[in-house]
Amino acid sequence: MLLAIPLLLIPVVLYNIVVLFGAPSGAGMVQADVLLRDPLFSITMTSGAQWTIGSGDLILFLGLILLFFELVKSTSSQRIAIINHALSMILFIGVLVEFLLLPGFATSTFFLIVIMILLDVLAGFIVTIIASRKDFDFGGA
């Protein structure tokens, strides 16, 4: 049953932890955006430029990796994949509500997380429809 839990829940939880517990209570979008962009560390590139990485960047990086695994999981036609699609849809509705209604969540970082979850939902349903159409075509021949 743990396989049915959407992996993209992890970046959402991390974002919630950073914004809700890292910023002063009642902090708005500006404070959340500053907190996400605050450099955690920097890397010196061969060009001599400093590449600074904040917590928002790390959350997005993790989200992209997990999106890849979610897309791979969506190719399965097992019953657990359908549960995963439903839970991904519930997660999308939850993050959309957070994005639209809570001031600390109206940032570009969270918007990109919302889009990653939307892509996961769409890909899951599209792959399932295509797979079932092929099964139906094969069975009808």
Between residues 1 and 94, which one has the greater pLDDT?
Answer: 94
More confident residue, 75 or 15: 15
Q: Which two tokens stand for residue 87?
A: 């839970």
Contacts of 39 (CB under 8 A, 6+ apart): 52, 53, 54
pLDDT higher at 124 or 64: 64
pTM of structure = 0.84
pLDDT score at 130:
80
Q: Residue 81: which pLDDT band, with cuts at 50, 70 and 90?
A: confident
| The pair of three-digit structure tokens given for residue 56, joined into one six-digit string | 């928002």
% of the chain beyond a pLDDT of 70: 87
